[in-house]
Structure 1
Amino acid sequence: MISYARQNPEDQSAAATPAADDHIAPAPRVSVQAFCETVETAAAVQSAGEDRRLAKAHLKIQMGGMAAAIEAYRSAPTPNVIVLEADGRGDLLAGLDQLASVCDSGTRVVVIGRINDVGLYRELVRRGVSDYLIAPINTLDVVRAICNLFSAPEAKAVGRVLAVVGAKGGVGASTVAHNVSWAIARELAMDAVVVDLDLAFGTAGLDYNQDPPQGIAEAVFSPDRVDTAFIDRLLSKCTEHLSLLAAPATLERVYDFGTDAFDSIFDTLRTTMPCIVLDVPHQWSGWTKRALIGADDILIVAAPDLANLRNTKNMFDLLRSARPNDRPPLYCLNQVGVPKRPEISAGEFAKAIESQPIVTIPFEPQMFGSAANNGQMIAEISANHRTTEMFLQIAQRLTGRSEGKKSRSSFLSPLIDKLRGK
């Protein structure tokens, strides 16, 4: 019998670009086979397979629709997920009955059709279909449908990864990351963890006045031990809602890592923590690139000079290209207004990047220096200062808390609610 999880049909007219609150958790390592009828659907599925959230999934596409699927599985095991495109109603139901006879237990089926009908949806649910999408579909429809198969339908999305990186060394990216994380935890009351990825020179422990005996080094050098309990033991509690996975900030070891060295750590944190803030060091390696591309949202911190402008532009271009189905990165200007220093204006920056900075943080060395030396956040020194408000504004944008929730519905929604007993 085909297993299923009942899900609301999505509004197929939704825009391809996700809203800030449209968080789609990545799919695990699963096999997905799609059987398409049209070139347009095949192209959408192919594009979905290149999305970062399906990076671990093994996707295979072939044409032929239902008939090809039934024939393929007469002598071969079925994958974790089958995506089927079908045009007619009668042929679809009859085909599903045949498919069930050759389908392995536990396989989930996503159907793409062109009939938006209550009766058809009832029949699909009765036959154990996991999700039904109405063509034409876009890339995000496919990504969302597959990823949601492995998330609890009614559960609030967890594990939003936010990456903060400097366009150049010394621009204060870590300071921004730590203060934004503080705002997420204290002002938005979200459980959050700061992951200091600068193992040799990280400052998160100093900024939060923490000196934990263990941290991220124990996890990255013992990948076979990484699980929820192990990571929990490594976390240092900063406030009620804020935890820290600290860097050792020592030089006894050389911290050379493979591209996927941090994957198990991030995956484990996603399962337990609603918000994970990655303090990414300013370096370009396989694992830093992977961390940025794999994040749900990205903040680039830049100073107002030419080198920062060039680097920000390069990072924007690469990340937009590598993440075509995600929101573009955000950036902020920091240390603006240094006396007697020539600076590139925010307007010129925005013109070159083709995007406005989220905030422009002024150069205030006395306040920031006192906070750093005392192991405090800016909000602890001056709760009502304009910079404190800027960090809160960044926190709201990155988490989607400043934007109203958009509800998706279709004319089938009342029926689905009734089927669920609501």
Structure 2
Amino acid sequence: MSLEPHYDQNDPEASSSERERERLEQARPIPRITIHAWCDSAGVQRPIERAAEDRRMARAHVMVHGGGVQAAMEHYAQNTTPNLLLVETRVEPEYIMQQLSGLADVCDPSTRVVVIGHFNDVALYREMMRNGISEYMVAPVSLADLIATIESIYSSENEAPIGRTIAFVGAKGGVGASTLAHNIAWSVTTLFDNDVVIADMDLAFGTANINFDQDPAQGIAEAVFTPERVDETYLDRLLAKCSERLSLLAAPSTMERVYDFDEAAFAPIVEVMQATTPTVILDVPHGWHGWTRRTLAEADEVVVVATPELTNLRNTKNFVDTLKRLRPNDPPPHLILNQVGMPKRPEIDPEDFLEPLGISSFVTIPFDPQLFGTAATNGQMLAEMNPSHAVVQKFDELAHVLTGRREVKSSQAGMLNSILKKLKGK
């Protein structure tokens, strides 16, 4: 007996439907990415809308618009581009690249673009590939074609993981690294419509569950103690939803057992999160173990949080020097000076703090116990309480910097120091 699928030769539509169903069954789930589609015809828009409703796209956030390439250019001149952009164009092959050049001017470098055209032209396809287009599809397109194309973009062995890992660590306990990590994660997800996962790696004393007013029954402990089970599906079950696009891999925050781990203990968890989520925030506890060293060495971005005191300066210098050895081809870590301006506390001037570190810029967060204390008590992020607050604006700026959308201006440190000196003189 043959186990090959049987197609009715006299029914082309049934045959095509069976093939599409078979292709869909073989497709893997699409990761947590944001997809925007700009269509120029109903024939392309309908299958994209169908694809958005498919279970394999359940993790992705899809928005479908009309207007084609021109509407997309006008929109992204004022807004950030998504992880993946689908654009339909009906222009002749000789004019397509000229049209797309305008779109390239408003796209973030990390955005991947799929062009849906109406001309089957091999030379055009090759030119698009040379110019960084992820794929060129010829209309009409089917639901299976779309999902298979998106999957191929994000599952290719030659593609880097889609997730950008940002590790926050305190130069000393109690400097507020976790609070800043959580608030900046909130900024990333609200500013850019990106999915974000926070991994609270302080299993004994983690605070993310309190800061987000969550009480999940499971979290990161289940993953790290059963590494053989770690995959996309298992991690999905362990995540707690903090908002539509922000999820938490919570710490148990108990001392019922000791948490001694091998150097590679957290690596499989981070890899799976990177494979499915655009931004991964690693809330690394203050301490120095094999696994914390490896986590910081392998993160895409490292943020050291310190307060302007002598011990913090010494520890920050140690972090900077050590990470320079561990990451010789990467820039130094980002520095956030937190709790600046605490009354009656002797502080090191920010410029003096920065001088021995070899870091060109930093951000300061003022001491404001009322603001941060109220947010912590309410289980809210600062942006939920007061989105226009100056501190929230700094979080938004850091979100741009850490996701690669903007660099810290070299003059920022000097500007902040001038403000601080004026405040001290009053």
Match of residue 315 from structure 1: 319
1:392 aligned onto 2:396: yes
Match of residue 284 from structure 2: 280
Question: Which of 198, 208, 221 does residue 204 from structure 1 map onto?
Answer: 208
Where does the alignment leave 5 or more consecutive residues of structure 2 unmatched? 1-125, 127-152, 409-426
Q: How many residues align?
A: 258
**Higher RCO, 1 vs 2 (CA within 8 Å, ≥6 residues apart):** 1
Deviations 1:37-76 (A, max 9, x none): xxxxxxxxxxxxxxxxxxxxxxxxxxxxxxxxxxxxxxxx
The Cα shift of 1:152 comes to 3.5
Question: Which of 302, 322, 325 does residue 298 from structure 1 map onto?
Answer: 302
Question: Which of 227, 245, 253 does residue 249 from structure 2 map onto?
Answer: 245
Distance 1:193 1:324 in 2: 27
Distance 1:386 1:262 in 2: 35
Question: Which of 332, 335, 353 does residue 357 from structure 2 map onto?
Answer: 353
Deviations 1:262-282 (A, max 9, x none): 111111111101111000000
Match of residue 178 from structure 1: 182
Distance 2:319 2:247 in 1: 29
1:365 aligned onto 2:399: no
Match of residue 97 from structure 1: none
Identical counterparts, % of pairs: 54
Distance 1:320 1:151 in 2: 32
Runs of 4+ in structure 1 deviating by more than 3 angstroms, as ranges, are 149-157
8 Å contact 2:154–2:162 — kept in the other structure? no
8 Å contact 1:358–1:394 — kept in the other structure? no
Distance 2:320 2:265 in 1: 24
Distance 1:360 1:291 in 2: 25
8 Å contact 2:161–2:274 — kept in the other structure? no
Distance 1:358 1:158 in 2: 27
CA shift in 2, pair 1:369/1:357, >3 Å: farther
Distance 2:277 2:382 in 1: 24
1:165 aligned onto 2:169: yes
Distance 1:341 1:357 in 2: 24
8 Å contact 1:332–1:357 — kept in the other structure? no
Match of residue 234 from structure 1: 238
User: Which AA in structure 2 matches 1:178?
Assistant: H
Where does the alignment leave 5 or more consecutive residues of structure 1 unmatched? 1-121, 123-148, 405-422
CA shift in 2, pair 1:390/1:207, >3 Å: same
Within 5 A, what are the aligned runs for 1:370-389?
370-389=374-393
Match of residue 222 from structure 2: 218
Match of residue 260 from structure 1: 264
Distance 2:160 2:244 in 1: 20
The Cα shift of 1:151 comes to 6.6
User: Which AA in structure 2 matches 1:304?
Assistant: P
The Cα shift of 1:286 comes to 0.4
User: Which AA in structure 2 matches 1:253?
Assistant: R
Distance 1:350 1:366 in 2: 28
CA shift in 2, pair 1:350/1:403, >3 Å: closer
Q: Which has the larger displacement, 223-232 or 353-362?
A: 353-362
- TM-score, normalised to structure 1's length? 0.59
Distance 1:402 1:383 in 2: 20
User: Which AA in structure 1 matches 2:201?
Assistant: L
The Cα shift of 1:239 comes to 1.1
Match of residue 193 from structure 1: 197
CA shift in 2, pair 1:155/1:264, >3 Å: closer
The Cα shift of 1:354 comes to 2.0
8 Å contact 2:332–2:359 — kept in the other structure? no
Distance 2:258 2:251 in 1: 13
Distance 1:173 1:396 in 2: 18
8 Å contact 1:332–1:360 — kept in the other structure? yes
Match of residue 324 from structure 1: 328
Deviations 1:89-128 (A, max 9, x none): xxxxxxxxxxxxxxxxxxxxxxxxxxxxxxxxx9xxxxxx
Within 5 A, what are the aligned runs for 1:44-83?
none
Distance 2:154 2:263 in 1: 25
Distance 1:202 1:249 in 2: 5
CA shift in 2, pair 1:395/1:150, >3 Å: closer
Deviations 1:136-187 (A, max 9, x none): xxxxxxxxxxxxx997499786111110000000000000000010001111
Q: Which has the larger displacement, 247-256 or 300-309?
A: 247-256
The Cα shift of 1:198 comes to 0.3
Distance 1:347 1:382 in 2: 30
8 Å contact 1:235–1:243 — kept in the other structure? yes
Deviations 1:378-409 (A, max 9, x none): 111111111001111111111012259xxxxx
Match of residue 416 from structure 1: none
8 Å contact 1:197–1:278 — kept in the other structure? yes
Distance 1:373 1:187 in 2: 24
CA shift in 2, pair 1:356/1:365, >3 Å: farther
Distance 1:255 1:156 in 2: 31
Distance 2:274 2:357 in 1: 31
